[in-house]
Amino acid sequence: MPLTGHSLIAGQPVAGQGRTTFGLNPATNQSLEPTYTLLTEEQLKTATAAAAEACPSFSTLDPETHAGFLEAIADNIEAIGEELIIRAGQETGLPTALLQGEHARTTGQLRLFADVVRQGDFRGVRIDSAIPDRTPLPRADIRQRQIPLGPVAVFGASNFPLAFSTAGGDTTSALAAGCPVVFKAHNAHPGTSELVGQAVTKAVKDAGLHPGVFALIYGPGSSIGQALVADPNIKAVGFTGSRAGGVALMRTAASRPEPIPVYAEMSSLNPVFVFEGALKGDVEHIDALAQQYVDSVTGRSGQLCTSPGLLFAPEGELGDKLAAAVGRAVTASSGQTMLTEGIARSWNEGTTNLGSADGVQLIGQGTPGRTENAPAPTIFGAGVTEFTNNQVLHEEIFGAASLVIRYSSVEDLLAAARRIECQLTASLQLTEADYPTAAQLLPILEQKVGRIIVNDWPTGVEVGHAMVHGGPFPATSDSRTTSVGTLAVNRFLRPVAYQNLPQELLPEALQDTNPWHLNRRIDGRSTSALTSG
């Protein structure tokens, strides 16, 4: 597909009337063609108005048409072929194998949400039948369903040019809910965004949907991004990025005449707690545990929201052996190209600040990579007292860096856990002998994180029905939600009750004949689509 360098609004390429930008290859710092034109705030209104116009028809699609639309997006993305992987690699420096995996995740989650749409449980149908002869007062016929909020603004993430981008998790779950999407492309990978945007636009057209169902826009985050969130046609926001960026959008959304929800996934240190039992193996066992930790820290150059930025290990001989093994493992590693020059610069500033903090020592450092913007992976160490008293040790460093904290007692460990800010994940490395201590830690972690992991590492996020990729602030802006997994669709819905409506006026989901064959809760009891309607 030829790249135009323009936004896509109501099915058509639109040249921006503002400034211009272009993609950069972070491995060489060389610019990539074409030049991308940026929208003005006035042009942005065209996209949001078209999204509002698309709402009535898109929000009431029958399940089969709706699901087929999501599947068509997946098919169209696959049809782009190798061009998409090549462009994404040029714009991000990520290896081909990683991008191929991310590509599969992107199309896989589109098809997963198509299944969700067909099943329809997210519509949350509840029916309380009328009881006209109830005393002292009769009960009216009351029916409830979840309806789409309206147009959703989605912001592309820097670190996932496919799975958290144009047709990524936020876009897919919003479309599955029946919400049109205005997608703000990340300026670090504009060509990748356009290729996928063309695939989505084609699916909209082929399905005969209103062209305002999807828009891809380019513009500065400081102006166009804020204007998008402030636009009265936008009813919710999906964001993955820095805490500063997420909080800025939250402030804008809260200050509108009609405040709207912002579902922002932001910073996280993802602490790992290593118990003594997990270290009572032979040297090979400790070496393997250390290598797993370093692999989790350095994978994808550490540019994952689930990268473990903290590891708690006991003091004493066992902890010393683990720290030494970690030092050996990280020293053998080499830097990988980071996503942008700016991200690499921030990593250098963060590691400099952490390394110069009182009580912090260098455990080990790898070698820089051979490309531009590929700093050496680094792991530091400190005591639990330093961690408790110094806020610098609590700050996220986005990239291949981590901090090992040594604790002397269970009380130390529990106190440190209480001191940690809220996170996306917490991981426990343990054996059965450690269960009593872990049982004391779990209630603390339940209040701190969205996902608790045992004998595994946080950098694998399965896209499924039970996954929670969220957590209390500042990990996310709303601890009740997830941005990964099928529960993500609930973010973009709200309940409406219908009292005493005749069958002819009821939405299909609430009609007695159940034409959409939905599972429903009738008079408090779950009723299968196979036995109702």
Identify the structural domains of the chain with CATH numbers, from first to last.
7-266+479-491 (3.40.605.10), 272-454 (3.40.309.10)
Please give the torsion angle defined by the CA atoms of residues 481, 482, 483 and 487, in that order, rounded to the nearest 10 degrees. Answer: -100
Q: What is the CA radius of gyration of the chain?
A: 25
- Per-residue pLDDT tens digits for 134-183: 999 999 999 999 999 999 999 999 999 999 999 999 999 999 999 999 99
- Per-residue pLDDT tens digits for 58-103: 999 999 999 999 999 999 999 999 999 999 999 999 999 999 999 9
pLDDT band of 532, cuts 50, 70, 90? low
* Residues across the chain: 533
Q: Are 263 and 477 in contact (CB under 8 A)?
A: yes
Query: How high is the pLDDT of residue 281?
Result: 83
Q: Are 241 and 397 in contact (CB under 8 A)?
A: no
Q: Which pairing describes strands 520-522 and 525-527: parallel, antiparallel, or unpaired?
A: antiparallel
Burial of 435 (0-12, 13-18, 19+ CB in 10 A): exposed
Name the 3-class secondary structure at 323.
helix
Distance CA 448, CA 442 (A): 10
Q: Within 13 Å and on the Cβ side, how many CA atoms surround 440? A: 15
Query: How high is the pLDDT of residue 222?
Result: 81
* Residue 196, φ and ψ in degrees, nearest 5: -70, -35
* Residue 502, φ and ψ in degrees, nearest 5: -65, 155
Among the listed residues 99, 78, 103, the one whose alpha carbon sits nearest the alpha carbon of residue 90: 99
Distance CA 499, CA 146 (A): 15
pLDDT band of 533, cuts 50, 70, 90? very low
Q: What is the average pLDDT value for the chain, to the nearest integer? A: 96
So which residues are the catalytic ones?
265, 305
Among the listed residues 474, 422, 430, 482, the one whose alpha carbon sits nearest the alpha carbon of residue 454: 430
pLDDT band of 353, cuts 50, 70, 90? very high
pTM for this model (two decimals): 0.96
* Cα→Cα distances 342→95, 148, 158, 346, 373, Å: 19, 37, 11, 6, 9
Query: How high is the pLDDT of residue 531?
Result: 60
Among the listed residues 133, 220, 214, the one whose alpha carbon sits nearest the alpha carbon of residue 170: 214
Name the 3-class secondary structure at 207.
coil
Distance of CA 354 to the CA centre of its chain: 27
Please give the torsion angle defined by the CA atoms of residues 94, 15, 106 and 487, in that order, rounded to the nearest 10 degrees. Answer: 120
* Helix (H) / strand (E) containing 25: strand 20-25
Distance CA 377, CA 65 (A): 48
Burial of 529 (0-12, 13-18, 19+ CB in 10 A): middle
* Pair of tokens at residue 69: 């639309």
